Structure 1
Amino acid sequence: MTARKRLARGRYDPRVGPSASGRPVSPAIGPEERLAMNGMGSFDWDLDQGVFDLDEAGLRVFDLRPEEFNRSPDALVLRVTHEEGDRIDRELRRAMQSGRRSYGGYFQITRRDGVKQWTHTQGTILRDEHGYAHRVVGIVRDATDDLTQAPPAAAPAEGEVPPRHSFSSIVGRITEALSHAVTIDDVTAVLTGVGGVERFRADGLTLSLVEGSNMRFVATAGELMRGVPSFKPVRLIESLPLADTVLTQQPQFFADNDELEARFPLARPFVEKIGMDACAFLPLIAQSHSIGGLALFYRGRTRFSREDRELCAALAGILAQSLQRAILFDQEREFATGLQATMLPRHVPRFDGAEIAVRYHAASSGREVGGDWYDVVALPQNRVGLVVGDVQGHDTHAAAVMGQLRIALRAYAAEGHPPSTVLARASRFLAELDTERFATCGYAQLDLTTGTLWTARAGHLGPLIRHTDGRTGWPNVRGGLPLGLATSFDLQEFPETRLDLVPGETLVFCTDGLVEERDADITIGMEALAEAVHHGPQRAEELADHLADNLWQRWGSNDDVALLILRRSPDPGTTRAPRIHQYVHQADPEGLADARLALRQALTAWELDDLSDDIELAAGELLVNVLLHTEGGAVLTLEVLPEPVRRVRLSVQDRSSVWPRRRTPGEAATSGRGLLMIDALADNWGVEPRGDGKAVWCEFGPEDGEDGEDSEDGEDGERAEGEGGGGGGGVTDTDPTA
């Protein structure tokens, strides 16, 4: 290889020799080596799989050994405190939700030897074709020099605390820490959290806010303040240094406790208690008004230089601006949440035969107000209307639209209209409002006497049902477009779905904030809700608390949530006459097996095991015919009739008005023997009208002579045959071709 070629390639091959200039050329340095030489490491975070890959240089930044890192973000907890980790997580979440391509920030880690190290991370967010973040690739580096290097300064005078950081770096750290503070609680968290006091180069601090003629202390932090009881509010006219600073809007610095006590004698007990050597009292001024005061306490300081005073003034100004924003935000949020509260029902009516629980959870970001709502409407004839809805947006306008829509929908429901009509009229009402908002809504009417439930939805989740045996499921409820949009597109059709809620079953209505999280499939949240309901308490109020404690904390939702739970009161009968109910859905393939198991368990508990085989066989015949030859599910009831002879009655209710008839099938027939089987197994059987359908029942008792009486076999069966109609091969077979 010639020297010209070696120079052109820009590298040195030790097997060839020196370059043309006679000086050896450095070997090639790859990207990883270049990062490592500058104290940088790289990471690759797969958000879908939860895998966090960190290269060798990155492990050195975090002072981790390879065996201490398991490719999980949780492994970094060895070096990163929870507070710092949460702060970085919040920044990443904000970047993902706002659609930004990158994020970054400073945080502290604790190295193996206990030394605090400032670290900086910068990441690029990769998104799929739908805009959802699925991967983050970035770098981490030791940023200690960023925050500690400063131009050469004069040596500190005697009694001064040597500067640990430059003026600009201290101001920059405070500004960055407060940049994400939205509420007063956020601001105080910066001061009282990890590194809060150190950011001000102090050993203790107190923060107060002006409230009328009083000063309220909202934060204390630092080693000097340990063991000091909470300060009570004080009047601004009292002769205290911080109050005087707030009134005069002039900072005050005391490097001599005697000087402080001479001017403010009331401060003597406090000075003696904390053992400080110097202090600074700074007014927090915003728009020419004092909004609070900051007191800084020091050990080992005997003077304040001009630079110290300028730095304190700059920090107080930054803190005052953050507090002013936080105060205004809290006031606006208080107004918005108050508006939201007045728009929601203040009281939920009570009903005999049902337990109802409601919850509202504000969003975890923004003004913590939105358009989610719930409502419970008392209807005639022992019926109840259940409403859950969500107006688009998370602001006061959404809350105002929600209030108008809730009242209108409540009025339509109270007029007695079916769910489809209620939603159609509500959609027309919303479209006529002077707003561009739309709303999703779910509405159901429940007859508390029969358990019949008619429901419709407008772009909203349907209800979740928990059955008496603990199973949970999302019934297939047909739906239409969201309210407002349905009218705009002239598609105001909201088909109704009929369900049956038997005694002891629970209905759960919620808005999507409870089950939906950005960058996650909503079905994951729906499965989590179903699982939480399955394992939750039976009582409605306790179940509502259970869901709030588990799911709201799990998702940390940026959306508000409305939750409505109704549980039909159980109907266990009495000690001598126990009773169970179970609903078998037409589309549930496991429903028959679950029903048979429930029957056998109940009969075992009632000490009637000897009847289990006959009752299970009869129940299977009745249920199969309902599921095959009608358009809905079946309500199964099993109860003990103690008088005059202890019998067991099995009842299967369906929605068909066609009564069964008994036939005599031919030898080659494959159906038509249902009634013959029931007639052979049961002591008595019959048919009763039930609402818009019927119930076929049969009774089973002990063998002849066991209880001293014989049964009148078949009397009711003959009556049922004479009154029956239709045709078919089973008790409720309504197929005329069978």
Structure 2
Amino acid sequence: MVGMGSHSGMTTLPAQGAGVPARAPSCAELVAAHPWQVTPLGPRESWDQAVRSTVDVVLASPVPMAMAYGETFVLVYNDAYADIIGTKHPAAMGCPAADVFGEAWHAPGFGDIVADVFRTGQSFLEAETQVSVPRAGHVEQASFTRGHSVVRDEHGTVVGVLTVAAETTHVTRRLQSLGELTARLASALTIDDVARVVLSYAMTSFDVDHCVFSVDDGAEFRYVRRIRGEMIDEADERLPPLWKRIPAEQPGSPMVTAAQSGRPSFVSDGSPLAEIATDRHERRIKALAAMPLRTASVHGALTMGYRTPHSWLPAERALLYAAAELVAQATERARRFEAQHGTAQLLQRSMLPEHLPELDRFRIAARYDVGVDGNAAGGDFYDAFELADGRLAMVLGDVAGHDVRAAAVMGQVRAALRALALTDSAPGTVLAGLDRLVGSLGAESRNEEIFVTVVYGVLDPADGTITLASAGHPPPVLRRAGHGSASAELVTVPPGAPLGLGGRWRTATVQLEPGDTILMYSDGVVERRDRPLSDGLDALVTATAAAASGDPRNLCSLATAAVSGRTDDDVAVLAVERAVALSRSATMLVPAEPTGPSRVRQWMTTRLRDWAVPEPVIGAAILCTSELTTNALLHAGTPAQVHIDLSAERLLVSVADTGTRGSVTRARTDALSSRGRGLGLIEELSDTWGTDPTVRGSTVWFEMLIPAP
């Protein structure tokens, strides 16, 4: 461990002194009571989420673990580690490693290893080390192998070093991977994320032929499987894992038995899956380990199997126990996150328009992406609606904050804006009314920190004129199609104070020519902590000008990725394009059955040929649409909606689902085609593509440019 001595020599750790209390506090209790505000970690309630998850994993682990945080390597460790360092515990908790271990920390092969891992970001596996460990009143010589991995915060910055120790020589080769498993599980937010990490870990670290990860789901279990030789490419990893279901009363299933009983089972040579085998892969398994995943809110199992006899040695079983404990804790955290995340996002999206207006000569699209903290609702919002005189009102705003209160204020502001605009749509009048509302909300809550910015405009479809006003919001981007090449620029809008401050707002006018697009966005698109705002604005303008087309859905997708680096903020984008000519569109509802993709292919072929689309475009579009439809039916288990829109310059196809993960029956899963090549095909054949979250599901879309005659 951190502080266990040189990897080439022998270190004697002090023995436990006399008079140790019979009931010493656990490390978890010490962590809860420690004054972290006086350490580089800071107050516990403000810890980075990834760091907090790492500490949770350390404290829950049955094997010795310690995290050395920051440049002074402040120690946070578990009970197994406390047994190793003897009388240095509990004073070592929360102290810099150099203060705890003194001169030994500066000896070769001790603190320098931890410092190198922290500085380089490279994991390090130490060879077996002889360590004197105090036990039961005497000192024993024990062999330890230590693996050191970096700890990263939510932004990917190295903030510490995680050390895992195992008192065995049989698991040396797998020790480093266990540390990496811990680090990867700490950043796994959803059960899908946990499944990806666990399956990858099992296949690479244990070199198994068969691995299954399962969790309880009502009266059933849902599981995801990985087998040797299965082609897993980047496209697969970006899609949700392919979940199947099995009844909770399934007889003869080692996975179900382990999950329900909480007891592991090991078969060294036999036919452990013979009673439930669904294919030749499962019938060939001879050796199987079934580890329960049990916490207060999770019942599940992790099974690993070999096609040849395999002796499950005690050291290997101990490693499996440790891995299963880590996976169970990560699964429980992921389940809590998904429950809170789902509630927050349902609240968020229920306050956003589910459908945007459809105009003859104007195309409208919007996008909302959650920030790094997807567990909370945010205050970004967009809206577009037709006024009584046929004009289009459009708005994009941002209420500061990432909680239910911000979402509630956002909902009030959006509702009030619609009411004001339908009465008197003049931008100055609407913003003045919203200013009074925000001021009133702040006074009622005795909170003067309500901060709301808005950019609001009214579009006249007759000539493409937009009248704009801004209340402290970033300026929109205008993309000019031009005759040769496209260009983009920031719209000059007179600056105005954010809402609630009693400001006055002036307007600006811009005209959309055929092919032009205006893009509104929240500050999360362009703001980054490590660079000036002007850099983000320049990057957005450059990306907009370089877009393959002015299609609003395409620009919304490009805008969310225009500025490099991660953002903590939510992102909202709204785009409106003035079409060069009227477009043609059609929609098909695809039934959730194996014949669905073939129906889509027939329907699209007929429709696109009637529209005189070039044959190469038809072939590529049908291939991509078939794959997307298969994926939507596969993962949602509900009907999918395919929408095609053809303009003079491009074909836009979108496939939307309204279901949830894991609701596909085994029969449908086996009948539908493979999903592995879907996104790869779209990347290869389309000019641009993207995914959009919706109120009740998700949409994947792609765009293909129509070659000039």
TM-score when normalising by structure 1: 0.52
Letter in 2 for 1:564: L
Q: 1:440 aligns with which of 438, 453, 456?
A: 453
Are 2:285 and 2:308, in contact at CA under 8 Å, matched by a contact in 1? Answer: no
Q: Are residues 1:182 and 2:185 paired? A: no
SS in 2 for 1:297: strand
Task: Note the 1:253-402 alignment, pairs <5 A.
Answer: 253-257=266-270, 260=272, 265-267=275-277, 273-276=283-286, 278-287=287-296, 290-298=298-306, 302-367=310-375, 369-402=377-410
* Residue in structure 2 matched with residue 474 of structure 1 by the alignment: 490
Letter in 2 for 1:496: T
**Counterpart residue identity of residue 226, structure 2:** T
* CA spacing shift, 1:188–1:412, aligned 2, 3 Å: same
Superposed, 1:236-251 pairs within 5 Å as: 236-239=248-251, 240-251=253-264
State the 1:546 CA deviation. Answer: 5.5
Partners of 2:313 and 2:556 lie apart in 1 by: 57
Indicate how the Cα distance of structure 1 residues 368 and 218 shifts in structure 2: closer, same or farther if over 3 A, else same.
farther
Q: 2:393, 2:457 within 8 Å by CA — same for their partners in 1?
A: yes
Q: What is the DSSP-based 3-state SS (H/G/I as helix, E as strand, rest coil) of the residue aligned with 1:242? A: helix
What amino acid is the match of 2:124? Answer: A
Q: How many residues were matched structurally?
A: 437
- Describe the shift of the 1:417–1:102 C-alpha distance in structure 2 as closer, same or farther (beyond 3 A): farther
> What secondary structure does 2:244 align onto?
coil
- 1:192 Cα shift? 3.2
Distance between the aligned counterparts of 2:380 and 2:402, measured in 1?
9
Paired AA for residue 258 in structure 2: T
The Cα offsets for residues 473-519 of structure 1, whole Å up to 9 and x where unpaired, read as 213211222223x1xxxx32222223344454322111122222221
Please report how far the alpha carbon of residue 333 of structure 1 lies from its aligned counterpart in structure 2 after TM superposition: 1.1
**Structure 2: how far apart are the matches of 1:271 and 1:196?**
17
> Counterparts of 1:308 and 1:425 in 2: how far apart (Å)?
69
> Which residue identity does 1:144 align to in structure 2?
L
Amino acid at match of 2:539: A
1:149 shift after superposition? 7.9
Q: SS in structure 2 opposite 1:245?
A: helix
Letter in 2 for 1:181: A
Change (3 A) 1:187 1:103: farther
Instruction: Please list, as runs of the form range in 1=range in 2, the aligned pairs for 1:186-201 lying within 5 A after superposition.
Output: 186-193=193-200, 195-199=201-205
Give the distance between the partners of 1:369 and 1:123, measured in 2 at CA.
40
Distance 1:390 1:321 in 2: 36
Q: CA deviation at 1:286?
A: 1.0
- Aligned letter for 2:345? T
The amino acid of 2:220's aligned partner reads N
Aligned partners of 2:451 and 2:326: how far apart in 1?
41
Cα distance change of structure 1 residues 120 and 183 upon mapping to structure 2, 3 Å threshold: farther
Q: Counterparts of 1:381 and 1:354 in 2: how far apart (Å)?
A: 16
Task: Give CA deviations for 1:51-99 in whole Å, capped at 9, x if unaligned.
Answer: xxxxxxxxxxxxxxxxxxxxxxxxxxxxxxxxxxxxxxx989x99xxxx
Distance 2:193 2:403 in 1: 21
Within the alignment, does 1:564 sit opposite 2:574 as a pair? yes
Give the deviation of 1:406 after TM superposition. Answer: 0.8
SS in 2 for 1:498: strand
2:439 maps to 431
User: Residues 390-440 of structure 1, C-alpha deviation per residue, up to 9 Å, x if partnerless?
Assistant: 111233332232122111111111111421221122122123235543221
Q: 1:201 to 1:175 in 2, by over 3 A?
A: farther
Structure 1 spans left out of the alignment, 5+ residues: 1-36, 39-89, 105-118, 125-136, 155-160, 573-738
Q: Is the 8 A contact 1:516 1:522 kept in 2?
A: yes
Q: What letter corresponds to residue 499 of structure 1 in structure 2?
A: V
Counterpart contact for 1:509–1:565, Cα < 8 Å: yes
Structure 2 CA distance for aligned equivalents of residues 226 and 386 of structure 1: 43
Greater gyration radius: 1
User: Which residue in 2 is equivalent to 1:212?
Assistant: 218
Contact conserved, 1:213 with 1:236, CA < 8 A, in 2? yes
Please name the residue that 1:235 is paired with.
247
Q: C-alpha separation between the residues in 1 aligned to 2:361 and 2:282?
A: 66
SS in 1 for 2:222: strand
Cα pair distance change 1:265/1:504, threshold 3 Å:
closer
How far does residue 324 in structure 1 lie from its aligned partner after superposition?
Answer: 0.5
Deviation at 1:267, TM superposition (A): 4.9
From the superposition, tell whether residues 120 and 451 of structure 1 become closer, same or farther in structure 2 (CA, over 3 Å).
farther
Q: 1:267 to 1:153 in 2, by over 3 A?
A: farther
Distance 1:102 1:349, change over 3 A: farther
- Say whether residues 1:404 and 2:412 are aligned partners: yes
> RMSD of the TM alignment (CA)?
4.3
Question: Given that residues 354 and 568 in structure 1 are in contact (C-alpha distance below 8 angstroms), is that contact kept between their aligned partners in structure 2?
Answer: yes
SS in 2 for 1:390: strand
Q: How does 1:508-523 map to 2 (within 5 A)?
A: 508-523=519-534
Instruction: For 1:525-536, list aligned pairs within 5 A.
Output: 525-536=536-547
Q: What per-residue deviation string (whole Å, max 9, x for no partner) do you get for residues 331-389 of structure 1? A: 21112111111110112123344222222222244327422111113224332211001
Distance 1:177 1:496 in 2: 50
Q: Using a 3 Å threshold, how does the CA distance of structure 1 residues 163 and 359 change in structure 2: closer, same or farther?
A: same
One-letter identity of the residue aligned with 2:414: R
Going from structure 1 to structure 2, the CA distance change for 1:147 and 1:359 (only over 3 Å counts) comes to farther
Which fold has the larger relative contact order, with Cα–Cα distance below 8 Å and residues 6 or more apart in sequence? Answer: 2
Displacement of 1:226:
9.5
Q: Which residue of 2 aligns with 1:524?
A: 535
- Is 1:163 aligned with 2:170? yes
Identity %: 30
* Counterpart-to-counterpart distance in 2, 1:272 and 1:539: 51
Equivalent position amino acid for 2:569 in 1: D
Contact map agreement 1:148 1:164 (CA 8 A) in 2:
no
Map 1:682-701 onto structure 2 (within 5 A): none
Alignment of 1:98-117 (within 5 A): none
Alignment gaps of 5+ in structure 2: 1-7, 10-48, 55-68, 74-111, 132-140, 145-167, 234-240, 583-709
CA separation in 2, counterparts of 1:389 and 1:365? 19
Mapped partners of 1:149, 1:548: distance in 2: 56
Flag the 1:327–1:226 CA change in 2: closer, same or farther, 3 A. Answer: same
User: 2: distance between equivalents of 1:528 and 1:226?
Assistant: 34
> How far apart in 2 are the matches of 1:189 and 1:91?
18
Query: Secondary structure in 2 aligned to 1:233?
Result: strand
CA distance in 1 between partners of 2:193 and 2:333 (Å): 11
Partner SS state of residue 325, structure 2: helix
Paired residue type of 2:269: D
* Cα 1:549/1:375, change in 2 over 3 Å: closer
For 1:677-716, what aligned pairs fall within 5 Å after superposition? Answer: none
Contact preservation (8 Å) 1:367, 1:395: no
Q: Distance in 1 between matches of 2:380 and 2:212?
A: 39
CA spacing shift, 1:300–1:167, aligned 2, 3 Å:
same
